[in-house]
Amino acid sequence: MSDSTPIHRAPATPVARQALALAGVFQAASLVDELARTGQVEQRVWETLIHATLDTNPESFEAIYGGHPNNLRRGLEVLEMVVGRRQANPVVLRYGFSLLMLMSKLRNNNAMMDELGQHLTRIQGQAEHFGETHENVIASLGEAYQKTVSTFKTRIVVQGDPSLLQTRMMPERVRAILLAGIRFALLWHQQGGRRWKLVVQRGPLKKTLDQLG
């Protein structure tokens, strides 16, 4: 993340924090789709997700996503489509809501939560040495996802270009992004986010998204 990124004041309302955390989930979902189809990632989007995954003890809420809502712009745009009942990429939506479901399963599995925490502590040391987006760090994040969340019977089946999905480091990159989605899903829940609120709080959420935009 750039040192020059402006740090904005943390969102004042619970709904704003929920919106930004949920945007992180859909940003991860969107990036998985892009990576699986094209093999490419938008660097700012990628760095925001990886940083959030590694920063398990942030100084503030806004530090998680680098201090500026624009770092979550792609996810916010998907969320705006969901709230506004506009047509969004069904694959991205499937990934996003699957991440919320997997987060719920993870929350109810204390042993797995502890195991994931141990993985991340070790990977943080790697990131300090190599840098957050170094392939050794990404490989370790992918492995952490594979050994924890990926063991649930319910899994996310990634669609894309089969030849791309088999290239070097691609499985690890996809899993690292999925882990980032889980990170933001947990954050969303911690901020009071619940799936039923997406229906009953559609108005306040839409207003908040307009303000963030």
Decide: 105 and 152 in contact? Cβ < 8 Å: yes
- Tokens for 86, please give them: 């506009």
Q: How many domains does the chain contain in total?
A: 1
CA geometry: angle 118, 67, 186, nearest 5 deg = 40
pLDDT band at 34 (very low <50, low <70, confident <90, very high): very high
In a domain? residue 96: yes
In a domain? residue 4: no
- Tokens for 42, please give them: 């938008």
The domain in which residue 32 lies consists of: 14-212
Taking only Cα atoms into account, the Rg of the chain, rounded to an integer number of angstroms, comes to 16
The pLDDT of residue 12 is: 65
The pLDDT of residue 201 is: 79
The pLDDT of residue 80 is: 93
Please, what is the average pLDDT of the chain? 91
In a domain? residue 187: yes
Query: Which domain CATH number covers 138?
Result: 1.10.3890.10
Q: Stretch 60-65: mean pLDDT, rounded?
A: 94
**Residue in this structure with the two tokens 């660097």, named with its chain if needed:** 43
Return the sign of the alpha-carbon dihedral for residues 41, 33, 30, 57: negative
The pTM assigned to this predicted structure is 0.92
pLDDT 10s digits, 133-169: 999 999 999 999 999 999 999 999 999 999 999 999 9
